[in-house]
A and B are shown apart, each in its own frame.
Chain A
Amino acid sequence: MKSLLAPRHAVIAAVVLLLLALPAYTQLTGNAFLVTLFTRIVILAMAATSLNLILGYGGMVSFGHSVYLGIGGYAVGILAVEGVRSGFVQWPVGIAVCALFALIVGALSLRTRGVYFIMITLAFAQLVYYFGVGLDRYGADDGLSIAQRSSFAGLIDLSNRAVFYYLCLALLLGTIFLTSRLVNSRFGMVLQGARSNERRMRAIGFPTFRYRLTAFVISGALCGLAGALLANHTGFISPATMHWTRSGDLIVMVVLGGMASLFGPLMGAVALLSLEEALPVLIRAAASPLGADTAVRMAEYWQIVLGPLFLLVVLFARGGIDGVLRGAQRA
């Protein structure tokens, strides 16, 4: 019980409890926007958690991870356009296509290291991005509206906001649990060993490539599920979802929250996306003495504040938010 009272565990428990209680709170206050915002946060936290498996635990800096959000989303969108609304078909298709795509990208990119690896994962993501732009039948760069959320034969009604939120939250927590099993298993030990010293791994007898590739595929498949959720959430999918800056956002969430930390990506997603919402409001409030017009214009530049904040974390808190909490625990 003592460890539960430690600051790190207390913060994680508080975040999870707040996420669990959020719909009840919005029910009381009638603030529906919060559920929409936090559904998005939860889904992107799931994508970041999937990235963390290869980036944090595997040391593979994939700079094209948002492509899986796009593929998962397009699986839902394209199938819906073609008359297949069942989530039992849409979601597995999205996950399977992502796994297959990750298998191809991984098989080629994992033979390289460092900058080359980053560039190849980016190139593949851009390839699919432009493919999406050229998909005339499915909205090209304007994207595709998804009129109805995936149906699950009446088992669960995704059009209910709270139900959908809880489903996303359950899948996020499931992904975190799955990650915790994976990284502590024999497989996870090999994955982390290869991150730490691949040469030594080969010398003691591990064919590292196949293990890293497997992690790459698992990560892509999990992110594909997040993509299916995201398309359901926004009712819309477009190539913009796969833009490389979105991949950058996911990396920022992982690094900000703490690489190779189970709850780090969740904390990073909460921090980044709430700052995105809160900073413009805060700046407008702070600048209001300068006049309403000036304040609004200044609020447009909220990223000027976000950038240095992120820089501070990278420079002074190597382990991200989770690293800071860990440090507080030790002190």
Chain B
Amino acid sequence: MPDAILEVEQLTKRFGGVIASDAVSLTIPKGELHAVIGPNGAGKTTLIGQLTGEIACDTGSIRFEQRAITDLPAWQRSQLGLARSFQVTSLFSDFTALDNVALAVQAHVGHSFRFWKNARKEASLREPARAALARFGLAERADVLVSKLSHGEQRQLEMAMALATSPRMLLLDEPMAGLGPQESARMVGTLRGLKRELTILLVEHDMDAVFALADRITVLVYGRIIACDAPGAIRENAQVRQAYLGEQEAVRA
């Protein structure tokens, strides 16, 4: 596909006897917000891990912007413009919010073998970092230690850090996890804003958010893709209803 930003072919990963990814093939065109849903243990986080390079895949290939990245380490994929956020907040807890984002900025402005100048006084790192914080409503909290931020603020900071690497594609692993209704609504608004600038792969359990945001949805069950379609079609898909949505409806009822 000429306008594809991410092409995944026949990705397979086994952990002992468990198949976490079973011949997963996926093509995401530039600018799409693509959601991946599926019951717990379907292999969604494993998929993100393979895409970012934290988990080596057994077989299969990944192409990002027409370039094979299957064998590249995580940091190089980030350098190419593939950013991620973590399901369990993963920050530098003994740094301030601003330090966290400034470090993400620093990663993408050349090497860091600079030993003398005070990095906390470099405007070229601090200014973009402040801008990223402001965008996620954290301008007032810039100098607060991460360990003192609320959970919701930390989730926003996760996003600010991913964005500060000026990526071309964003892999989001359950950005709404643990958020209250108000914070969730705010995050949906944030994602809607990002949607216009970036290609996004969104793994999320919050179905309201998924159906409100996604252009297309992939449904993963036991590591295998059982459907990949527009939200309306997914909602009507009998197989999906049975495997996933129906189950949840049944639990709710």
Residues of A bordering B, CB below 8 Å: 181-182, 184-190, 192-193, 196-197, 199-208, 211, 214
Contacts and interface: CB of A to CB of B under 8 A. Distances in A.
Contact of B115 (A182, A201, A206, A208): A182
Contact of B75 (A181, A192, A202): A202
Contact of B73 (A184, A192, A207): A207
A206 B92 contact: no
Interface residues of B, number: 39
B108 A205 contact: yes
B107 A206 contact: yes
Interface of B: 52, 54, 73-76, 78-79, 83-84, 86, 90-95, 99, 102-104, 106-108, 112-120, 122, 125, 161-162, 164-165
A295 B125 CA distance: 62
A204 B107 contact: yes
19 contacts: A184-B120, A185-B114, A185-B119, A186-B106, A186-B114, A186-B122, A187-B115, A188-B115, A190-B112, A192-B95, A193-B92, A197-B93, A202-B54, A203-B86, A204-B78, A204-B162, A205-B75, A205-B104, A207-B73
Contacts of A182: 115
A185 B86 contact: no
Contacts of B104: 204-205
Contacts, number: 99
Contact of B165 (A181, A193, A205, A214): A205
Contacts of A208: 75
Given A182-B115, A184-B120, A189-B106, A204 B165 contact: yes
A196 B93 contact: yes
Q: Which of A185, A199, A203 has the most CB of B within 10 A?
A: A203
A207 B75 contact: yes
Contacts of A201: 75, 103, 107
B24 to A, nearest CB: 21
B91 A200 contact: yes
Contacts of B76: 207
Contacts of B165: 204-205
Nearest to A210: B113
Contacts of A199: 54, 90
7 nearest interchain CB pairs? A205-B78, A205-B107, A196-B92, A186-B112, A202-B74, A186-B114, A204-B104
Nearest to B108: A205
Contact of A203 (B84, B99, B108): B84
B75 A211 contact: no
Nearest to A190: B112
B114 A196 contact: no
Contacts of B113: 186-187, 211, 214
